[in-house]
Amino acid sequence: MAKRIITILIWLLLIVSGFVYAVPGVNDLLAEIDEMMDLESDCTAKVKITQQKAGEGVKVYEAIYYLRDRDDAFLIIMTAPEVEKGNGYLKLGDNFWMYRRNTRTFQHINRDESIAGTNAKGGDFENKKLTELYAPALDAGGKEITSQTTLGKIPVYQFELTAKTEDVTYPKVIFWVRQDNYLPLKTEGYSLSGTLMESAYYLKYTKIGGKYLWVQAMFVDEFEKGNKTVVEIQNISLQKIEDHVFTKTYLENLSK
């Protein structure tokens, strides 16, 4: 009888420990990340992009970014380098314009086009939810590809995602998120053929308005070795932004 009780207790222990140490579902993790990082308010910030290209040295770009939460409209005005200063971008509904200070003209551009010649694209500045873009990748047995591991000394959940929509740069992405607060620490983007194209390291986060926002990240070009981009976000404000900011006139005035 005692032996039986011990066996049951061991089984119960195993079951309970299984629940305690089980990796959360990927969809739950994605929902958690979306929830944690969705500012749900307007946002103003200074963005600094330090781009290092093999054989071309280092270029630093600076811009001020305005985001309206209501309709995801955004405005970017370049403040450095000198050749880009005064140029800007305005996304309003389906329209996306590029403003050139030299010619004082607005031009319709595609959201896939580069911002100021950097690796960043217009689409990268849109406020998108992971749950809308990606779904958990499944292995041959139909199970989510997920595991517990460490990144450096930090315990993380590692999971693989596949694109739900065509509206993403990488059809396959692997995430490493902290086990204690689910903040992403690293991602890897893969091409459709399975080649690692880019690694992103989220180096610093800040908590603002009860939400998390990464303020320093490094994007390493795994395809062309030696290229990397560091993005820093500073002077973040969640104050409401007046509607007149998201207009061509305002962008023109800012660039003067």
Partner 1 sequence: MGLVTRLSWRNLLRQKKRNLFLGIGIGFGMMILVVANSFSHGMVDVLINEVVSYAFGHLVIDGTQGNSYFTMIRDKERIVKIIEENIKPEDLLEINENLGMMGRAVGNGEADNVVVVGVTLEEDEKYFFNDFFTLVDGNFDDYFSTDYEYPVIVSSAMAKSLNVKVHDTIKIRIPMVTGQLQAAKLTVIAIADASNTFMNMVLFMQGYRVKELLGYKPWESASLQVTLRDPLKTAKYYADILHEKLKPGVICVAGKIKQADCLLVAFRHHDQAKEALRAELTIVAGDPEKAWAKRGVMVSKALAQKLGLKVGDRLNYAYQTKFRGIYEEEFTVDAIYDSRTRLGADVLLVNEERIHAIFNSYLPAELQDFLDEDDPLYAALATEWKLLRRSKDSQELQKLYKEERKIKSDQSRFNVITMYEGASDILKLEAVLNLLTMNAVLILFFIILIGVVNTLRMTIKERTREIGTIRAMGMQKRDVRNVFIMETLFLTALSCIAGVTLGIVAIKILGALTFNSTGALSIILKDGHLVFKLSPLSILGNFLLILVIACVTAYFPARRAANLSAVEALRHYE
HSE, side-chain direction, 13 A CA sphere, residue 71: 11
Residues of span 35-64 touching partner 1 by CB under 8 A:
54
Q: CB under 8 A: which stretch of 89-97, 127-135, 229-237, 244-252 binds partner 1?
A: 89-97
Q: How far is the CB of 141 from partner 1 (least distance, A)?
A: 26
180 binds partner 1 (CB under 8 A): no
Q: Where are the alpha helices (DSSP H) in the chain?
A: 2-21, 26-37, 130-133, 248-254
Token look-up 């370049």 returns 78
Q: Which of 133, 145, 168, 220 binds partner 1 (CB under 8 A)?
A: 168
46 or 111: whose CB is closer to partner 1? 111
Which is closer to partner 1, CB of 180 or CB of 224? 224
Between 32 and 126, CB nearer to partner 1: 126
Pairing of strands 88-92, 73-80: antiparallel
Closer of 91 and 186 to partner 1 (Cβ):
91
Stretch that binds partner 1, among 35-43, 71-79, 87-95, 242-250 (CB under 8 A): 87-95
Q: How far is the CB of 94 from partner 1 (least distance, A)?
A: 4
DSSP track, 205-231: EEEETTEEEEEEEEEEESSSTT-EEEE
Q: Which of 147, 195, 206, 253 binds partner 1 (CB under 8 A)?
A: 195
Does residue 197 interact with partner 1 by CB under 8 A? yes
Cβ 18 vs Cβ 215: under 8 Å? no
Q: E strands of the chain, at which residues?
A: 43-53, 57-68, 73-80, 88-92, 95-100, 105-108, 134-136, 146-151, 154-163, 172-178, 184-190, 196-208, 211-221, 228-237
User: Is residue 192 close enough to count as binding partner 1 by CB under 8 A?
Assistant: yes
Residue owning tokens 């404000």? 237
Q: Which stretch binds partner 1 (CB under 8 A): 125-133, 147-155, 184-192, 228-236?
A: 184-192
